[in-house]
A and B are shown apart, each in its own frame.
Chain A
Amino acid sequence: NAGVTQTPKFQVLKTGQSMTLQCAQDMNHNSMYWYRQDPGMGLRLIYYSASEGTTDKGEVPNGYNVSRLNKREFSLRLESAAPSQTSVYFCASSPGAMNTEAFFGQGTRLTVV
Chain B
Amino acid sequence: AQKITQTQPGMFVQEKEAVTLDCTYDTSDPSYGLFWYKQPSSGEMIFLIYQGSYDQQNATEGRYSLNFQKARKSANLVISASQLGDSAMYFCAMTPANDYKLSFGAGTTVTVRA
Contacts and interface: CB of A to CB of B under 8 A. Distances in A.
A81 interface: no
A42 B101 CA distance: 16
Nearest to A97: B100
B100 A90 contact: no
Contact of A96 (B31, B100, B104): B100
A102 B50 CA distance: 11
B105 to A, nearest CB: 6
Interface stretch (A14-22, A43-51, A70-78): A43-51
Given A56-B101, A98-B100, A42 B91 contact: yes
A59 B103 contact: yes
Interface residues of B, number: 25
30 contacts: A31-B100, A33-B102, A41-B106, A42-B6, A42-B104, A42-B106, A43-B91, A43-B104, A45-B101, A48-B100, A48-B102, A50-B99, A50-B100, A56-B101, A59-B103, A88-B43, A92-B102, A94-B95, A94-B102, A96-B100, A98-B31, A98-B33, A98-B95, A99-B50, A99-B52, A100-B33, A101-B47, A101-B50, A106-B43, A107-B44
Interface of A: 31, 33, 35, 40-45, 48, 50, 56, 58-59, 88, 90, 92, 94, 96-104, 106-107
Given A45-B103, A98-B97, 6 more contacts: A31-B100, A50-B100, A90-B45, A98-B96, A104-B45, A107-B43
